[in-house]
């Protein structure tokens, strides 16, 4: 089977899994929000920010090298496997020791225990992260998609069952553990089937270059995680825990398309780009096609979310969350621009420029916190913080093309703008039509409005796409129909 066929079939499976996971994510937020106060979501946000930072050391770095290195020996695989586990244990030890600091910040004694228990997922993840990387290297994305969906579903069932029975915030902690446990067991089963279990070998001399690759990847991912979470930390520090709850719920809703759809491409692009990294013309075609796929799907979802936010928030979350509506609308634009730059990481790593993300994120470590902290400190407003984040992302999007895409693929500015702007223009026209229809009628129930407006938006987007972005739609249709 040709490489593009394997990649397309893998993308279809990842897309299916991601779509189902997005529905599960929306359903979980909808159920949990009815049992939580905004302050509860603020506490959850802090826990998950801390966990995300620690998780970088486990899930990124020392495993990604095997997606690029197809010639790794058994000794190298074994050494890196045990190194992954060692790093996971160190990360958990640091998290365990530092957990009481959060109790001081939030005046909550339970939060330290929550962080420590949830941190067990770091250890579980370190045991199987290499097996996930080996599956990605072989483009076994169907298997990864199935594992991800089943784990997500188990976590959802656990969260809903526990929250209904009064376990509060602990529901999400144990849901995360259940999801990671199921994922780990399935990956271990896959490793047993393919004989991937390591030997009792640990020779650092054989993996120095791999460790160097991993250190740069971890450093870049660590700084990127700090940069993407600093907004929540700033809101928690300069506003209040309830404001953080409103912001977090809006941020999570806006991120659902990004966090579920973009991995469809990034999981495919990295191993595929790695295989064709020496063919610049082919690499450019693959990059632009991937960018078009991201935008043609994300743009209508996120711009549509802007138009329908006044219906979406009450329908999903119930009363009391209205303050999140304008925040959700602004963050949807931010996420849309961010999604367009996400494909760059696969290109950069495939070209073996693994130092670049570290340098870039080190620069952003100053730019992002400075922008957001100033906005939060001076305004004490969620809206201003959200607008500052959007403005910063506009700058990031321009620089990402100039520093990464153009340097690695040549100057294709007009093509780049064409791939991004057409889906946005189409989606804006679609949203304008939806808003016009919405203004002509009064809906007693918000869910009734969504039942009318969502199908209308889908039809409008399809019709407009046939006029404005026919090539984009044709590519997406061919991918869905034939897998090519």
DSSP state letters, 235-297: HHHHS-HHHHHHHHHHHHHHHHHHHHHHHHHHHHHHHHHHHSTT-HHHHHHHHHHHHHHHHHH
d(CA 222, CA 251): 20
Confidence of residue 483 (pLDDT cuts 50, 70, 90): very low
Q: What percent of the chain stands above pLDDT 90?
A: 16
Is residue 39 within 8 Å of residue 242, measured between CB atoms? yes
> What pLDDT, on a 0 to 100 scale, did the predictor assign at position 24?
83
Average pLDDT, the chain: 81
Highest mean pLDDT among 209-218, 359-368, 455-464: 455-464
User: What three-state secondary structure class fits 23?
Assistant: helix
pLDDT exceeds 80 at position 477 = no
**Average pLDDT of the residues in 19-23:** 74
pLDDT exceeds 90 at position 379 = no
> What pLDDT, on a 0 to 100 scale, did the predictor assign at position 74?
82
Distance, first Cα to last Cα, the chain: 11
> What pLDDT, on a 0 to 100 scale, did the predictor assign at position 391?
92
- Please state whether 320 falls in left (phi above 0), alpha (psi between -120 and 50) or beta: left
pLDDT exceeds 80 at position 258 = no
pLDDT exceeds 80 at position 305 = yes
Q: Which residue carries 């010639």 as its tokens?
A: 71
Confidence of residue 111 (pLDDT cuts 50, 70, 90): confident
> What pLDDT, on a 0 to 100 scale, did the predictor assign at position 225?
80
Which range is least confidently modeled, 99-108, 176-185, 316-325, 449-458? Answer: 99-108
Confidence of residue 344 (pLDDT cuts 50, 70, 90): confident
**Average pLDDT of the residues in 94-106:** 81
pLDDT exceeds 50 at position 482 = no
CA 186 vs. chain centroid, Å, equals 22
d(CA 430, CA 461): 5
Nearest to 227 by CA among 132, 362, 337: 362
Confidence of residue 484 (pLDDT cuts 50, 70, 90): very low
d(CA 142, CA 126): 22
> What pLDDT, on a 0 to 100 scale, did the predictor assign at position 160?
92
d(CA 309, CA 250): 10
d(CA 61, CA 349): 11
Which range is least confidently modeled, 12-21, 421-430, 464-473? Answer: 12-21
> What pLDDT, on a 0 to 100 scale, did the predictor assign at position 157?
94
pLDDT exceeds 60 at position 481 = no
Q: Rounded to the nearest 10 degrees, how much is the dihedral formed by the CA atoms of 331, 336, 338, 340?
A: 180
**Average pLDDT of the residues in 3-21:** 63
pLDDT tens-digit readout, 156-172: 999 999 999 988 889 99
Highest mean pLDDT among 239-243, 463-467, 476-480: 463-467
pLDDT tens-digit readout, 118-143: 999 999 988 888 888 888 777 777 78
**Average pLDDT of the residues in 177-191:** 92
- Two tokens at 449? 């409005």
Q: What percent of the chain stands above pLDDT 70?
A: 84
pTM higher than the cut 0.95: no
pLDDT exceeds 50 at position 263 = yes
């Amino acid at each position: 089977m040709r490489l593009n066929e394997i990649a397309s079939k893998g993308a279809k499976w990842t897309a299916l899994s991601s779509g189902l996971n997005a529905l599960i994510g929306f359903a979980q937020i909808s159920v949990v929000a009815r049992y939580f106060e905004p302050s509860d979501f603020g506490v959850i946000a802090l826990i998950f920010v801390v966990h995300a930072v620690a998780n970088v050391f486990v899930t990124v770095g020392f495993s990604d090298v095997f997606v690029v290195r197809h010639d790794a020996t058994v000794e190298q695989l074994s050494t890196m496997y045990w190194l992954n586990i060692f790093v996971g244990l160190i990360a958990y030890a640091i998290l365990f020791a530092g957990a009481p600091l959060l109790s001081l910040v939030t005046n909550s004694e339970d939060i330290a225990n929550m962080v420590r228990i949830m941190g067990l997922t770091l250890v579980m993840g370190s045991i199987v992260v290499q097996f996930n990387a080996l599956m990605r290297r072989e483009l076994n994305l169907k298997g990864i998609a199935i594992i991800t969906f089943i784990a997500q579903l188990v976590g959802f069932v656990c969260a809903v069952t526990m929250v209904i029975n009064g376990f509060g915030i602990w529901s999400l902690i144990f849901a995360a553990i259940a999801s990671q446990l199921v994922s780990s067991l399935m990956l271990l089963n896959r490793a047993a089937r393919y004989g991937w279990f390591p030997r009792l070998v640990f020779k650092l001399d054989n993996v120095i270059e791999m460790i160097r690759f991993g250190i740069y990847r971890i450093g870049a991912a660590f700084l990127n995680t700090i940069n993407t979470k600093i907004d929540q930390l700033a809101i928690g520090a300069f506003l209040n825990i309830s404001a953080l709850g409103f912001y977090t719920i809006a941020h999570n809703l806006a991120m659902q398309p990004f966090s579920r759809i973009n991995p469809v491409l990034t999981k495919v692009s990295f191993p595929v780009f790695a295989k064709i990294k020496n063919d610049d013309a082919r690499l450019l075609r693959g990059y632009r096609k991937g960018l078009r796929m991201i935008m043609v799907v994300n743009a209508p979802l996120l711009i549509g979310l802007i138009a329908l936010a006044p219906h979406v928030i009450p329908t999903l979350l119930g009363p009391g969350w209205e303050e999140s509506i304008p925040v959700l609308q602004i963050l949807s634009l931010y996420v849309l621009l961010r999604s367009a730059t996400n494909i760059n990481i696969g290109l950069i790593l495939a070209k073996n420029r693994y130092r670049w993300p570290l340098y870039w994120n080190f620069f952003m470590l100053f730019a992002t916190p400075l922008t957001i902290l100033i906005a939060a400190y001076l305004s004490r407003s969620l809206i201003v913080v959200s607008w500052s984040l959007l403005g910063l992302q506009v700058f990031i999007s321009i620089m990402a093309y100039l520093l990464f895409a153009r340097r690695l693929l040549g100057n294709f500015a007009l093509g780049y703008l064409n791939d991004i702007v057409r889906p946005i223009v189409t989606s804006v026209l679609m949203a304008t039509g939806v808003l016009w229809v919405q203004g002509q009628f009064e809906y007693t129930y918000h869910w009734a409005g969504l039942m009318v407006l969502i199908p209308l938006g889908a039809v409008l987007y399809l019709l407009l796409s046939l006029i404005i972005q026919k090539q984009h739609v044709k590519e997406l249709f061919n991918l869905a129909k034939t897998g090519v």
